[in-house]
Every structure is written in C-alpha cells, then in structure tokens.
Homo-oligomer: A and B are copies of this chain.
C-alpha cells in the first residue's frame, strides 16, 4: 500500500478551512464546481469533472469522519478502479497565524503512473483550497490548473 502526502498552510482560522472541507459549498469552491450529495458522516458526496462541457468521470466519497476544526476523512466508494477503497484525510492544526492541513490519500495498491498524476493534481487542488480560504476564490474544476496531457 502506498500513499500520496501533502502539507499546505493558509493564513486563516481552522474553522474556515474546515468549512471548505466539510460542506458541499466549500468543496465546490476549490475541487470541482460539480459537487453534490450529503456531506454529513455516513453520507456520500459525488464529485464530477467535465471537459468542453462533457462529463469525463468523477468520484463518490463516503464521509467517514468529521471533527470540526480537526479532521475530515472520506472513503472512495466509486470512481476509477485505482481509487475505489482508498481513503482521503485532511488533518488540521493551528501554527501561529497559519492553519496547516496534512493531507493523505492512502492505501493505493500500486504506485502506478495514474498515482503520480493524482499526486501532482492533489497539490494543485490543495493550492486552490489555500486560495479559496485566503482570498475567497479557488480554482476548482473545470477551471483547474492543467498539469499534463492527462489534465
């Protein structure tokens, strides 16, 4: 099992970061504008992505854990085969003026090329989260930063 890890920090309160991770509106502001579903524990959230207006796939997450200002964890229940069964977590902590997010996308079966791609994409989406929380404006899909021919 292999994991994608990231750390970002934003000049913000933990409450604001938590809101961006634990609500449909927050998630739509930095990951993908097409975010639907129930963001409570036990609920599922559907994240969809499109290109030139055409749906190109997405992920369904079951919300496993919500600890206000502390931690959000999901399990992937539908999406690309490599993602299904993996877990995604965001651990939050305050360091001075900074809200720090430790991100883990864990339990990939193999370090496939798609995992390399997702690692880079997660970094750009976490920078989008930082931008949303610090400035009020993220860069969610479909306007997300393209990192390669795989977008």
Contact = CB atoms under 8 A, between A and B. Distances in A.
A119 B111 contact: no
Copies of this chain in the oligomer: 2
Interface residues of A, number: 33
Interface in A96-119: 96-98, 100, 102-103, 111, 113, 115-117, 119
- Dominant SS among interface residues on chain A: mixed
Interface in A1-54: 2-10
Interface stretch (A58-66, A68-76, A79-87, A142-150): A142-150
A28 to B, nearest CB: 22
Nearest to A115: B5
A120 B126 contact: yes
Contacts of A124: 123, 127
A55 interface: no
B95 A149 contact: yes
A144 B123 CA distance: 15
Given A147-B130, A149-B95, A7 B111 contact: no
Contacts of A119: 4-7, 119, 123
Given A113-B102, A147-B130, A149-B98, A120 B6 contact: yes
